[in-house]
Amino acid sequence: MALGIAALAAAGVLFGLSATGIVGDGGGKYSGPGTVTGFGSVVQTPSPTTPSPSLPPPSEAPLATLVIPNASVDASIVTLGIDANRVMQSPGNAYDVAWYDFSARPGFGGNAVFSGHVDYHDVGPAVFWNLRDLVAGDLIEVRLQDGTVYQYHVSALQCLPVGEAPIDEIVGPSPTEVVTLITCCGTFDYSTRQYDKRLIVRADRVVPPPSPPALPQ
């Protein structure tokens, strides 16, 4: 199910794409290594794997890096899943971005879900610190080890309370090819060293222009 505007409005929190200032400015209050999603039990439902016929054939090469120029992100991708309690696992450091193996594989259609920390203890601002500054149309690239690059444009950005976030819509299947990025936002709780909200960025796959016809020899 797509992360629709109607569903987000019903959740009571819908932020514009400028979204400046929805994440704390740090000031030494950096979160611990716990879950970056905090969504509780997640149903492991594979996304559709039928790519659009208008896109180039997908590659099965390993995922390499996530690049977001306007958020200063150029990060290695690690593959994670859900733990024994069906909670989404978190990247183990401040620098990597996780792709979740229960979500769609980039390039194959559906919803490819990623997460990263906004800040990290003993480090400070982390890989997704600048995600809050993205606006509609900003470029996100998923790069594979064989040189394949999938491009996406940001279409929505929301900061949602953890207990009210529509989990199935955030991490569940999508009828079109998208990426979903998850990190922390909202108010920092010093007792738990966690934020009370999650920043959700949705971006749609860019259809490359057709190649020009070959010139006659």
CA 61 to chain centre: 20
Residue 73: closest CA among 47, 91, 46, 51 = 91
9 in helix, strand or coil? helix
In this structure, which amino acid lies at residue 51? Answer: P
| 174 has a pLDDT exceeding 90 | yes
Q: What is the band of 79 on the pLDDT scale with cuts at 50, 70, 90?
A: very high
Average pLDDT over residues 173-181: 95
Segments of the chain assigned E as strands: 63-68, 73-80, 97-100, 111-115, 119-120, 124-125, 139-144, 149-161, 178-189, 194-205
- DSSP category for residue 10: H
- DSSP category for residue 7: H
- C-alpha distance from residue 175 to each of 16, 47, 54, 119, 209 (Å): 24, 9, 15, 32, 22
The CATH number of 5-43+59-205 is: 2.40.260.10
pLDDT tens, 34-74?
A: 556 665 555 555 555 566 666 777 999 999 999 999 999 99
**Among 5-9, 62-66, 211-215, which is the least confidently predicted range?**
5-9
The residues spanned by each domain of the chain are: 5-43+59-205
Higher-confidence residue: 181 or 165? 181
| 204 has a pLDDT exceeding 90 | yes
Q: How far is 170 from 162, CA to CA, in rounded Å?
A: 12
pLDDT tens, 96-141?
A: 999 999 999 999 999 999 999 999 989 999 999 999 999 999 999 9
76 in helix, strand or coil? strand
Q: What is the band of 13 on the pLDDT scale with cuts at 50, 70, 90?
A: very low
Residue 177: closest CA among 199, 155, 200, 160 = 155
- What are phi and psi for residue 91, nearest 5 degrees? -55, 145
Higher-confidence residue: 28 or 88? 88
Indicate the pTM of the whole model.
0.79
Per-residue model confidence (pLDDT) at position 163: 86
169 in helix, strand or coil? helix
